[in-house]
Amino acid sequence: MRILYFCCYCILSAADTLNDEPSSLVKIFLKGTEFMKKESLDAAIKAYDIEAECIRNMKKYFDDKQFAKAIELLCSAERIGTSGCGHSGIICRHFSHLLCCVERPSRFISPAEAVHGATGFLKKNDVMVFASRGGKTKELLPILDICKSKGVSVITVTENLESPLASGADVVLKQYVNRETDKYNSQGTTSTTALCMIFHSLQTAIIEETGYRNEQFAVIHPGGAVGERLNHHEIDI
């Protein structure tokens, strides 16, 4: 195959010997033969397998009693805060949005703002959700103290059940991660997917527990393709 490519390239180049730059035909040919390294493609495909394995194995660590307590707190709280750093913080923002989508008032509280008054959003009997894979994120520990002093219930999602954020929580949800997808096992990839899965399962259970209906969602989501579907009598009951 390489010999064929070389011969075709030579033929196309010979037809354009008077030009300093390769002809458009040569450029098109070269563009069509530019492939990523095999190792890159193999790594990309393997990433699917790594994350799929993680989700399958997560069910082994599912604690139905802790999960039920989390659902009880999230369904009864007037307000719900979420907080985390790095990738965990980004997924916490996503969870706050998911909660708002089922009319459970929530907001992401950045660790930086939390210790400068933002925890005033939370009152007694409200809920704060922390996400920290190691459970030792220094920026979150002062927020934990604030929550405990205000009577705010704490749900922690972490891989380390012996960590400070787990020990100080009312509910702990185990985050299992087999490994990250990159060869160095250092990027926040699989761990992010695992955290998303936990938050998605919580929202799914909240919908069932509260009897939330698509008709309600249609009112607060008139925009986009989803809003068009919801508000044109195509609601799945």
Q: What residue ranges do the domains of the chain occupy? A: 43-212
137: helix, coil or strand?
Answer: coil
Confidence band for 31, pLDDT divided at 50, 70 and 90: low
Mean pLDDT of the region 158-162: 97
Rounded Cα gap, residues 155 and 131, in angstroms: 9
Higher pLDDT, 145 or 232: 145
pTM above 0.75, yes or no: yes
Mean pLDDT of the region 11-28: 50
Rounded Cα gap, residues 104 and 6, in angstroms: 63
Query: Of 21-35, 106-120, 149-163, 221-235, where does mean pLDDT reach its minimum?
Result: 21-35
CATH class of segment(s) 43-212: alpha beta
Mean pLDDT of the region 8-18: 46
Confidence at residue 27, expressed as pLDDT on a 0 to 100 scale: 54
Share of the chain above pLDDT 90, in %: 79
pLDDT tens track for 185-222: 999 999 999 999 999 999 999 999 999 999 999 999 99
CA dihedral sign of residues 183, 173, 103, 96: negative
**Residue 124 pLDDT > 90:** yes
Within 8 A by CB and 6+ apart from 127, the residues are: 73, 74, 77, 79, 80, 81, 152, 153, 154, 155
Q: Which ranges in the chain belong to alpha helices (H)?
A: 2-14, 24-32, 38-58, 64-76, 86-101, 111-114, 141-150, 164-167, 190-210, 214-220, 224-230
